[in-house]
Amino acid sequence: MTTHRLGDLARQAGARLIGDADCGITGLSVLQEAKSGSISFLSNSKYRKYLKTTKASAVILEQKFLDECPTNALVSDNPYLVFAKIAQLIAPLPEKKAGRHVSAIVASSACIDVSASIGPGVVIEDDAVIGAGVDIGAGCVIGKGCQIGDDSRLVTNVTLCHGVTIGSRVLIHPGAIIGSDGFGLANDNGVWIKVPQLGSVCVGDDVEIGANTTIDRGAINDTLIGDGVKLDNQIQIAHNVEIGAHTAIAACVGVAGSTRIGKQCTLAGGVGVVGHLEIADNVHFSAQTLVTRSFTEPGYFSGNLPAVPNSVWRKSIARIRQLEDIAQRVRHLEKQSQQMIDDKLDQDI
């Protein structure tokens, strides 16, 4: 177990230290479960109740909570960011040894940097290019002509279909499939005819792709994932979608084909986006929002009804179905009222 000096952690994470710089930190913990030697954080006021009784050796928090902290503190306007930086320092990923496992199947025409790590059961097809420091975990399949940039990591059972390009420092979690065919079909008198998907997928630098997420290859041009994009688990990105730099998308989102999403957007869990839309930079959708039109200005948008008791929902639906009839009656009453006003004016004249 490695012990880290609190003063060093504060300096490297960019936080202001209040307390003992020589305090030893050996691990990370939540406030209510922390023990001596651990560091915790407070970024959500819901957990403020645990601050005064925490046993942590240090807590990362905002200035406004400092008076309530019973132990050493690292003060920051963004405690969660500081916690993330310290977590990387305290619990780095285990180093992988360069080389390939004896069970890996690697085409003779593949170009693999000597510093790359190729795990058990990996398949690397013809003309693939694997950069320096790349870590390819057990069971991954790298298709023909794929390129993987330096220091990227494919955890396990990741599939890159032919011709996919992955940038540097990309992290892809288990079960992700990049470059499968898009859902391209033409209808011939009720019979579906497959449209060949001739494009590929291009993933930028510093991207993270969650477990069992799928990104389809383009029909003609490539599907594009910008630098710094973060994709959660079980997301579907359809063919020819473009996602701008540093956009973050939560689990179970579906984005239909040829939609363009701007930079620094956020899509919360379960958002559905129909195809051929334009989403501007800095647009944010709350959970379960159904996006059926383009959004050309930044902002925070919602478009669904929250859950209510079933009896209330049934009444609401019944009223919704009556809206057209009510609207027609209102229009009729407006016409009657206007006619009465006009008749009155004629009489006065």
- C-beta separation of 81 from 61 below 8 A: no
Helix pair angle (79-90, 6-13), 10° resolution: 120
pLDDT of residue 107: 98
pLDDT of residue 339: 84
Can you say whether the dihedral through the CA atoms of 49, 52, 53, 59 is positive or negative?
positive
Q: Is the pLDDT of residue 167 over 80?
A: yes
pLDDT of residue 31: 95
Phi, psi of 11, deg, nearest 5 = -65, -45
Residues 207-244 as b/e (b if ≥16 CB within 10 A, e otherwise) read: bbbbbbbbbbbbbeebbbbbbbbbbbbbbbbbbbbbbb
Label residue 94 by pLDDT band (50, 70, 90).
Answer: confident
User: By C-alpha distance, which of 275, 320, 310, 312 is closest to 293?
Assistant: 275
Label residue 308 by pLDDT band (50, 70, 90).
Answer: confident
Helix (H, G, I), strand (E, B) or coil at 242: strand
Q: What is the mean pLDDT of the segment spanning 245-267?
A: 98
Q: Is the pLDDT of residue 349 over 70?
A: no
Range name among 133-142, 162-171, 296-305 with the lowest pLDDT average: 296-305
Helix (H, G, I), strand (E, B) or coil at 247: coil
pLDDT of residue 263: 98
- C-beta separation of 131 from 113 below 8 A: yes
Q: What is the mean pLDDT of the segment spanning 18-37?
A: 96
Range name among 90-104, 216-230, 254-268 with the lowest pLDDT average: 90-104
Place of tokens 């780095």: 92
The CA R_g of the chain, rounded to the nearest whole Å, is 28
Label residue 101 by pLDDT band (50, 70, 90).
Answer: very high
346 or 207: whose pLDDT is higher? 207
Label residue 91 by pLDDT band (50, 70, 90).
Answer: confident
pLDDT of residue 10: 97
- C-beta separation of 75 from 62 below 8 A: yes
pLDDT of residue 198: 96
Q: Is the pLDDT of residue 30 over 90?
A: yes
Identify the active-site residue in 239, 246, 284, 332: 239
Q: What is the mean pLDDT of the segment spanning 20-33?
A: 96
pLDDT of residue 7: 97
For the question of residue 173 being annotated catalytic, the response is no
The model's pTM: 0.88
